Structure 1
Amino acid sequence: MNEELEAILGVHFQDSGLLRLALTHRSYIYEAAGEGQSSNERLEFLGDSILALVSADFLYRTFPNLTEGELTDVRAVLVRTETLAKFARDINLGKYLLMGRGEQHTGGGQRVQASAFEAVLGAIYLDQGLAIVQQFLTPRLEPIALNIVSKRLFKDNKSLFQELAQAHEGITPSYRLVSQEGPSHNREFTVEVVLGDKVAGKGQGRNKQMAEQEAAHVALLNRGWI
Structure 2
Amino acid sequence: MLERIIEYTFKDKELLNQAITHSSYFNEKRDIRQSENEKLEYLGDAILNSVITILLYKKFKDKDEGFLSNARSCLVKRETLTEVAKAIDLPQHMFYGNGDQNVPEDSKVLSNMVEALIGAIYLDGGMRKVTRVIKNLFMPYFNLERLTEKNPKNLLQEYSQKRWSILPKYKFARKTKGGFTVIAYIGKDLKAKGMGKSKKEAEQQAARLLLQGLTETDGA
TM-score range, shorter chain: 0.5 to 0.7
Q: Which residue of 1 aligns with 2:30?
A: 35
What is the CA distance between 1:15 and its match in structure 2?
Answer: 0.5
1:59 CA displacement: 0.6
Task: Return closer, same or farther for 1:66/1:160 CA change in 2, 3 Å cut-off.
Answer: farther
Q: Given the superposition, is the C-alpha separation of residues 117 and 158 from structure 1 closer, same or farther in structure 2, using an over 3 Å criterion?
A: closer
Q: Does 1:6 align with 2:6?
A: no
- Please list every run of 5 or more consecutive structure 2 residues that lacks an aligned counterpart in the other structure: 165-186, 192-206
Match runs of 1:66-77 below 5 Å = 66-77=63-74
Question: Secondary structure of 2:10's match?
Answer: coil
TM-score scaled by structure 1?
Answer: 0.64
- What is the aligned residue count? 173
State the match for 2:149 in structure 1. Answer: 153
> SS of the counterpart of 1:105?
coil
Aligned residues with identical type, % of pairs = 31
TM-score by length of 2: 0.66
Of residues 120, 127, 130 in structure 2, which corresponds to 1:130?
A: 127
Pair 1:149–1:61, CA change in 2 (3 A) = farther
* Counterparts in 2 of 1:64 and 1:107: CA distance versus 1, 3 Å: same
2:113 to 113, 116, 141: 116
**What is the CA RMSD across the aligned residues, in angstroms?**
3.3
Write the distance in 1 (CA, Å) between the matches of 2:2 and 2:162. 51
Q: Partners in 2 of 1:103 and 1:147 — Cα distance? A: 38
| Structure having greater relative contact order (Cα 8 Å, sep ≥ 6) | 2
Residues 115 and 185 (structure 1 numbering): CA distance in 2 closer, same or farther, change over 3 Å?
A: same
Q: Measure how far apart 1:129 and its partner are.
A: 1.3
Alpha-carbon offset, residue 47 of structure 1: 0.4
Q: Secondary structure at the match of 1:66?
A: coil
